[in-house]
Amino acid sequence: MKIITLLTDFGSFYPAQMKGVILSQLAKKAQDITFVDIAHDIPPQDVRAGAFALLSSARYFPPGTIHICVVDPGVGTKRLGLVVESGGQLFVGPDNGLLMPAAKSLGTPGNPLQAYKIGPLEDLSLSHGFPVPSPASNTFHGRDVFAPVAALLALGQSPAGIGPRVRPKDLNFTEAKKTDWGFEATVIYVDRFGNLILNMRTVPEFQLSLLGIKLRRVATYAQARRIEPLITLGSHGFAEIAVNDGNAAEAFCLKAGDRVELEEI
The answer, yes or no, to whether residue 127 has pLDDT greater than 60, is: no
Burial class (CB in 10 A: 0-12, 13-18, 19+), 110: exposed
When pLDDT is averaged across residues 86-109 and rounded to a whole number, the result is 95
What is the C-alpha to C-alpha distance for residues 113 and 101, in angstroms, rounded to an integer? 11
Please state, as a whole number, how many other Cβ atoms lie within 10 Å of the Cβ of residue 250. 11
Of the candidates 93, 66, 70, 99, which has an alpha carbon nearest to the alpha carbon of residue 80? Answer: 93
Per-position DSSP letters for 86-121, written without gaps between them: ETTEEEEEESSSTTHHHHHHH-BTTB--EEEE---H
CB-CB contact of 21 with 33 (8 Å): no
Bigger pLDDT: 43 or 135?
Answer: 43
Bigger pLDDT: 64 or 127?
Answer: 64
Instruction: State whether CATH 3.10.20.30 applies to domain 2-161.
Output: no
Per-position DSSP letters for 204-255, written without gaps between them: -SS-EEETTEEEEE-SSGGGSPTT-EEEEE-TTSSEEEEETTS-HHHHHT--
Type of residue found at 209: S
What is the C-alpha to C-alpha distance for residues 150 and 173, in angstroms, rounded to an integer? 27
The answer, yes or no, to whether residue 123 has pLDDT greater than 90, is: no
With a pLDDT cut of 70, the percent of the chain lying above it is 95
What is the C-alpha to C-alpha distance for residues 232 and 137, in angstroms, rounded to an integer? 44
Type of residue found at 80: L
CB-CB contact of 140 with 148 (8 Å): no
Read off the pTM. 0.90
CB-CB contact of 32 with 23 (8 Å): no
Bigger pLDDT: 56 or 109?
Answer: 56
Which H or E run includes 19?
helix 15-27
Read off the pLDDT band of 132 (50, 70, 90): low
pLDDT at 111: 82
φ/ψ region of 78 (left if φ > 0, alpha if ψ in -120 to 50, else beta) reads alpha
* Domains of the chain by residue range: 2-161, 177-264
The answer, yes or no, to whether residue 171 has pLDDT greater than 60, is: yes
Read off the pLDDT band of 136 (50, 70, 90): confident
Instruction: State whether CATH 1.10.10.10 applies to domain 177-264.
Output: no
